[in-house]
Amino acid sequence: MSKLVISQKIKLAVKNGHGCVRIRVGNVTIGCDQIVVMAGPCSVESREQVLETARIVKAAGGHILRGGAFKPRTLPYSFQGLGEEGLKILAEARDETGLPIVTEVMAPEDVELVESYADILQIGARNMQNFTLLKRVGRAVKPVMLKRGMSATIEEWLGCAEYILNEGNPNVILCERGIRTYETITRNTLDVSAVPVIKQLSDLPVVIDPSHGTGIRSLVAPMAKAGVAAGADGLIIEVHPHPEKALSDGDQSLHPPEFADLMRELAPIVGAVGKRL
Tell me if 53 sits within 8 A of 90, measured CB to CB: no
Window of 28-36, 56-64, 169-177, 185-193 that interacts with a second copy by CB under 8 A: 185-193
232: which residues sit within 8 A by CB, 6+ positions away? 35, 176, 195, 206, 207, 208
Written as one string, the DSSP assignment of 74-109 is SSTTS----THHHHHHHHHHHHHH---EEEE--SGG
Q: Of residues 57, 179, 236, 260, which one binds a second copy by CB under 8 A?
A: 179
Show the binding pattern over residues 72-101: x = contacts a second copy (CB under 8 A), - = does not. Answer: xxxxxx------------------------
Window of 37-45, 60-68, 168-176, 267-275 that interacts with a second copy by CB under 8 A: 267-275
Q: Of residues 20, 91, 113, 269, which one binds a second copy by CB under 8 A?
A: 269
Q: Of residues 126, 242, 255, 275, which one binds a second copy by CB under 8 A?
A: 126
Report the SS3 class of residue 179. strand
Window of 18-26, 95-103, 192-200, 233-241 that interacts with a second copy by CB under 8 A: 192-200
What residues from 200 to 229 belong to the interface with a second copy (CB under 8 A)? 200, 213-214, 216-219, 222-223, 225-229
- The closest of 262, 260, 202, 263 to 231, measured between CA atoms, is 202
- Nearer CB in complex with a second copy: 130/171: 130
Least separation in angstroms between residue 199's CB and a second copy is 8
Q: Of residues 14, 61, 189, 255, which one binds a second copy by CB under 8 A?
A: 189
Report the SS3 class of residue 175. strand
- Nearer CB in complex with a second copy: 93/233: 233
Neighbours of 191 (CB within 10 A): 17
Neighbours of 226 (CB within 10 A): 17
Under the binding rule (CB under 8 A), the answer on residue 10 touching a second copy is yes
- The closest of 264, 245, 220, 266 to 53, measured between CA atoms, is 245
Orientation angle between helical segments 256-272 and 217-229, nearest 10 degrees: 20
Least separation in angstroms between residue 256's CB and a second copy is 16
Under the binding rule (CB under 8 A), the answer on residue 197 touching a second copy is yes
Window of 29-37, 38-46, 169-177, 182-190 that interacts with a second copy by CB under 8 A: 182-190
Q: Of residues 52, 84, 92, 251, which one binds a second copy by CB under 8 A?
A: 251
Under the binding rule (CB under 8 A), the answer on residue 8 touching a second copy is no
Residues 116, 91: Cα–Cα separation, whole Å: 10
Under the binding rule (CB under 8 A), the answer on residue 130 touching a second copy is yes
Residues 237, 48: Cα–Cα separation, whole Å: 19
Tell me if 41 sits within 8 A of 239, measured CB to CB: yes
Show the binding pattern over residues 138-177: x = contacts a second copy (CB under 8 A), - = does not. Answer: -----------xxx-xxxx--x--xx--x-----------
